Amino acid sequence: MRRHIVFILAALFSLYSVHAQADYAAAQPAPSVAQKTAAPKRGMLYRVDYRGNTSYLFGTVHVGQTSFYPLEPQVTRALSEAGKLVIEVDIRDTAALQQAIMRHGIYPDGQTIAQHLSADSMKKLQLALQRAGIPLASIARMKPWMAVNMLIMDEMARNGFPIEQGIELYFLALAKTQNKTVQGLETADYQLALFDSMKGAQQEEYLKENLAELADGQAMKKGLRLIAAWQGADSKALEAALLEIQNDPSTSARFMQRVMLDQRNPNMAKQIETLLKNDKTSFVAVGALHLLGNKGVPALLQQRGYQVQKLY
């Protein structure tokens, strides 16, 4: 099977342990811009110009480890020059995150996930929970998409890549020490509503596909390939990952391509247009897959007449 649960993870920002993540961002000491000037290039960095205003676009992964930091000087200088940090969702608003989770990821009182899944799917979910050491009671009211995304993030964390060390949290820590304004391109409610837009049968298929890759180890293999491509600033490998999604007929891949990328990228580009018109310099950090292909954010901005330069 060729499912893409790790890419779904890359599109989903910080649904769990929101208080811990916000506390991490607030407390983490920010590395100096001059620190470790030999740091390797990671991800991808674009510069977009409009009438003397500049917006830097940096492609991230939403998990991390301490070895990622500090990022290379070209990136940290761009952030230092910017008057504003812009990320997908401002996760410091923990109340909004929790409200979005309750609205879109949790069944109402009296309903459980077992009532919405077939006996076979429920059995597979219970096996996955047992392997992860997670009690069934802790996810009993979660919707299928949320339950399996939790398992994905748990698997990534157990393999050394927790969301608590993700790139956005690193940038938030830097922005805090530099007294920068922080802005979100989207809201948590909007992002989670996209997952919740899947009908019951789609959610069950999404869960089954992802559980299968967790069970056979394909999830981590694909995840590690994606992270390795990001760590090496390997655009060809990242483009290959996007092409794999586009050629995959699975429910997970179709949802990733049509909803989490194609549906969101035009709005991201529109908001970056607003930044370019109103802010002298801004630094925008979004998932790397949003910056790829002819429907990616840089391509959309270039099609609209903005000057776009790939720095690496």
In tens digits, the chain (312 residues) has pLDDT values of 333 333 333 334 433 333 334 444 444 444 444 444 468 999 999 999 999 999 999 999 988 999 999 999 999 999 999 999 999 999 888 999 999 999 999 999 999 999 999 999 999 999 999 999 999 999 999 999 999 999 999 999 999 998 889 999 999 999 999 999 999 999 999 999 999 999 999 999 999 999 999 999 998 888 899 999 999 999 999 999 999 999 999 999 999 999 999 999 999 999 999 999 999 999 999 999 999 999 999 999 999 999 999 999
Nearest alpha-carbon partner for 22 in 132, 128, 176: 176
C-alpha span between 115 and 202 (Å, rounded): 15
Q: How many domains does the chain have?
A: 1
List residues bridging with 59 in a β-sheet. 44, 286
Interatomic CA distance for residues 107 and 110, integer angstroms: 8
Q: pTM of the predicted model, to two decimals?
A: 0.88
70 prior amide bond cis, ω within 30: yes
- Helix then strand count (H, E) for the chain reads 14, 6
pLDDT tens sequence across 121-153: 999 999 999 999 999 999 999 999 999 999 999
Alpha-carbon torsion 34, 170, 227, 191, what sign?
Answer: negative
The pLDDT tens digits of the residues spanning 247-296 come to 999 999 999 999 999 999 999 999 999 999 999 999 999 999 999 999 99
Distance (Å, whole) CA 225 – CA 237: 8
Domain that holds residue 78: 5-310
CA distance 40 to 307: 26
How far apart (Å, rounded) are the C-alpha atoms in residues 158 and 129? 14
